[in-house]
């Protein structure tokens, strides 16, 4: 550590999840960069992973090969040392000795002898045997600050966990739990803070690391909010047009065909916008193994009265309570017939909502949810006969879009980078978030949705910033609720 950058060597038995811990902590989901694998003995050499902000290096984590013969190694070191407790000198001689076969142990001890702190990873689901005690003993002899991490697996627990905690408590400065497959931002931050506790000598740099991590997390949320805002605006402004000839217009089947094609085209575009939004979010949060669902059929039939369709959207029907919340927000918003030819879109509905929401409150019944897309299909009044399809006339539509995004945002934040399985970014019948929005936010967004849907997204910077903040706040809530 001659250059003053704090180092921590992640050590432990083979296959304990050492590499997975680093991968999750540093958000590395690429096996080419950091190999996590069910094959024991996967990491055979020390590999350094650096935390860098700007051009400055803040802290290093060294992935090491696991202990493979700890009991024998302990004996060999004792033998080298003779009477009393071995220390760094004995360990140095052990590492320098040749021909005794303790390749893994020597490699993992090297960074510790060079001054790295110890991050000892165990799987508390494993029985605590003598060989683990030998590992702890050898690590104690290094005299380096030591943090033990219990990499709790989903199915772990029980007595052995308590036993582990007790033993680790006496041999380490600090014991923490950390599930490499499920740890989220809060746990990662906790782990960084734990390093600060054991490595007092590097306090300023580690404190700066923590605040950089926090700042970056906020910056990402801000960026994500912007992605969401642009997605919602584009989705609500989306219009798909097709020309229709006079004779087609008079033939019901032809006309129907035209409308159906238009509808399909509209949803195709909507899907594209949605996919782009999720892809951008995955990039912001550095995920490559989470894949945007193709949702081939998700939009096809948008009859929101069917439970099945709700499930397809990944949302619970309870979502709909939001309906009541937006009333009065955009009173009187009416689509200009001469511009888009859209006479019965979302904008119009926003104006005449009082009675419906009152009924919703009183009777606890569901408001009329049917999205009749044909409401949006109208002849434009210009020279060319044109069919235009715009956002579904249902007032819930933007809220459903937003909930779909928020639920998936939650799923993105939940995914640990230490996992190596490919996963689809889906939502499975989840509670949404928008119905818990405070009235002010609903009102602000409701009005903005209405404007966007009318095709008159506010140009003022103030509104855009307010909307961004509102969305950021919503994302923050997802982060703290998950």
Q: Which residues are near ligand GTP by CB under 6 A?
A: 14-20, 36-38, 40-43, 66, 151, 153-154, 179-181, 420
d(CA 223, CA 280): 9
Task: Pick the closest to residue 249 from 258, 239, 262, 240 (CA basis).
Answer: 258
Q: Strand, coil or helix: what is 2?
A: coil
Which residue number, 18 or 229, has a Cβ lying nearer to ligand GTP?
18
Q: For Mg ion, give the closer residue by CB, 38 or 99.
A: 38
Nearest 5°: the CA angle 274, 275, 277 is 65
Give the span between the Cα atoms of 94 and 101, in whole angstroms. Answer: 11
- In the list ligand GTP, Mg ion, none, the entry touching 14 (Cβ below 5 to 8 angstroms by class) is ligand GTP
User: Is the CB of 18 or the CB of 411 nearer to Mg ion?
Assistant: 18
Residue of 254, 230, 252 lying closest to 467 (CA atoms): 230
Query: Which of the listed partners (Mg ion, ligand GTP, none) does 187 bind, with a CB threshold of 5 to 8 Å by partner kind?
Result: none
Give the β-pairing of 423-425 and 378-379. Answer: unpaired
Structure letter (DSSP) for residue 43: -
Q: Which does residue 17 bind out of Mg ion, ligand GTP, none, counting CB within 5 to 8 angstroms by kind?
A: ligand GTP
Given the rule CB under 5 A, which residues bind Mg ion? 18-19, 42-43
The minimum distance between CB 122 and Mg ion, in angstroms, equals 14
Shortest distance, position 36 Cβ to Mg ion, whole Å: 7
Helix ranges (H only) for 97-172 are 103-113, 130-141, 159-171
Nearest distance from C-beta of residue 41 to ligand GTP, angstroms:
5
Interaction partner, residue 335 (ligand GTP, Mg ion, none; CB < 5-8 Å by kind): none
Residue keyed to tokens 């096996």: 31
In angstroms, give the least distance from the CB of 100 to ligand GTP: 20
64 vs 319, beta carbon nearer ligand GTP: 64
What's the rounded Cα separation, in Å, for the pair 294 and 274?
10
Question: 328: which residues sit within 8 A by CB, 6+ positions away?
Answer: 353, 354, 443
- Tell me the longest C-alpha to C-alpha distance in the chain: 104
Based on CB atoms, which residue is closest to ligand GTP, 47 or 429? 47
103 touches which of ligand GTP, Mg ion, none (CB within 5 to 8 A by kind)? none
Q: What gap in Å lies between CA 37 and CA 66, rounded to an integer? A: 13
Give which of Mg ion, ligand GTP, none residue 316 binds (C-beta under 5 to 8 Å, depending on kind).
none
Smallest gap, in angstroms, from Cβ of residue 13 to Mg ion? 11
Report the nearest approach of ligand GTP to the CB of residue 44 (Å). Answer: 8
């Amino acid at each position: 550590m001659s250059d003053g950058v704090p180092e921590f060597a992640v050590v432990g038995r083979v296959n304990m999840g050492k590499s997975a811990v680093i991968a999750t902590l540093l958000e590395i989901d690429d096996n080419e960069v950091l190999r996590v694998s069910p094959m024991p003995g996967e990491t055979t050499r020390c590999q350094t992973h650096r935390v860098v902000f700007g051009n400055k290096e803040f802290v290093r984590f060294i992935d090491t090969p696991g202990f493979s013969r700890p009991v024998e190694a302990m004996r060999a070191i004792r033998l080298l040392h003779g009477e009393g407790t071995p220390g760094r000198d004995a360990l140095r001689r052990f590492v320098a000795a040749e021909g005794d076969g303790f390749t893994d142990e020597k490699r993992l001890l090297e960074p510790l002898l060079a001054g790295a702190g110890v991050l000892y990873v165990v799987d508390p689901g494993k029985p605590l045997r003598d060989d683990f005690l030998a590992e702890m003993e050898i690590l104690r002899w290094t005299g380096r600050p030591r943090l033990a991490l219990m990499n709790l697996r989903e199915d772990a627990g029980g007595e052995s966990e308590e036993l582990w905690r007790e033993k680790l408590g006496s041999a380490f400065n600090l014991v923490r739990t950390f599930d490499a497959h499920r740890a989220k931002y809060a746990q990662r931050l906790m782990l960084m803070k734990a390093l600060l506790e054991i490595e007092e000598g590097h306090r300023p740099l580690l404190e700066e690391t923590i605040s950089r991590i926090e700042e970056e997390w906020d910056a990402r949320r801000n960026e994500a909010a912007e992605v969401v805002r642009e997605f919602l605006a584009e989705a609500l402004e989306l219009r798909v047009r097709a020309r229709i000839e006079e004779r087609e217009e008079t033939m019901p089947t032809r006309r129907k065909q035209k409308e159906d094609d238009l509808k399909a085209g509209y949803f195709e575009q909507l899907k594209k916008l949605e996919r782009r939004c999720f892809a951008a979010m995955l990039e912001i949060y550095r995920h490559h193994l989470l894949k945007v669902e193709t949702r081939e059929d998700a939009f096809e039939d948008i009859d929101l009265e069917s439970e099945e369709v709700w499930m397809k959207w990944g949302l619970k029907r309870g979502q709909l309570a939001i309906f009541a919340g937006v009333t009065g927000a955009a009173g009187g918003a009416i689509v200009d017939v001469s511009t888009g030819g859209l006479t019965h879109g979302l904008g119009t509905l926003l104006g005449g909502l009082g009675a419906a929401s009152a009924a919703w409150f009183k009777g606890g019944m569901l408001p009329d949810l049917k999205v009749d897309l044909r409401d949006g299909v109208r002849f434009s009044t210009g020279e060319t006969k044109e069919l235009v399809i715009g956002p579904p006339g249902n007032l819930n539509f933007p809220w459903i879009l937003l909930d779909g995004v928020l639920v998936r945002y939650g799923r993105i934040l939940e995914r640990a980078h230490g996992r190596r399985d490919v996963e689809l970014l889906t939502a499975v019948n989840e509670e949404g978030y928008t119905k818990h929005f405070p009235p002010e936010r609903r009102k602000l967004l409701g009005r903005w949705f209405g404007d966007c849907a009318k095709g008159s997204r506010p140009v003022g910077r103030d509104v855009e910033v307010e909307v961004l903040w509102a969305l950021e706040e919503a994302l923050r809530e997802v982060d703290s609720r998950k």
